Structure 1
């Protein structure tokens, strides 16, 4: 057998393998497109007949945007937390919000720094666990009554 025949058979096998790969990946893309179009058709027939579409501009330019809560988990932030809160209060141009700052009971310096900012929009929340834990753990404790 000649080297040219061997190389052509190898190329044919590789082309077959590649074509099967393209076919499978194309079917995957087709499935995603079908799911998207089905969902869009379903929403246009059911949901958007009852409710109007929500666009981001509705929330940005709404005359009465509503209350907003900001959660800040803090651990050993006594050097920067007061300056950060002052800057946030000064720069945040929003009418109705409250900042909840979670700090740990074994970090009294951060609690004192938060307490030094006397503003009704800031609420300090002492976490009943010794820190540090994860930021998510601190936020969960801030949100539970």
Structure 2
């Protein structure tokens, strides 16, 4: 039914300009503001990922509630370098109950338990993850 369609992910933020600075300047993603077709004077933000995928980020202002799940997962070749780079930019890893973390904030789930992973939040408190490729 949807095999020949285009799909994209989306999430909300409470401050679109802060999201653009974070995803564009801090994380180094290509960001583009566009005018929302259905609402006058409403901008939305698109994040362009490697491979051409795009993520739609929209403002919710006072109605925003951070997602209760990980909104983006970034696969990296060297998770330690990625975590160090984020920490150098002031982005601190999140630590969740029930998981064991090393000193850097990386959860190493062990053999057969999945890749090494570290979770972080954006300025709107949405969660994103960095995973060892």
Please, what TM-score do these two structures have when normalized by structure 1?
0.21
Structure 1 or 2: more strand by fraction: 2
Bigger-Rg structure (1/2): 1
Please, what TM-score do these two structures have when normalized by structure 2?
0.23
Higher RCO, 1 or 2 (CA under 8 Å, sep at least 6)?
Answer: 2
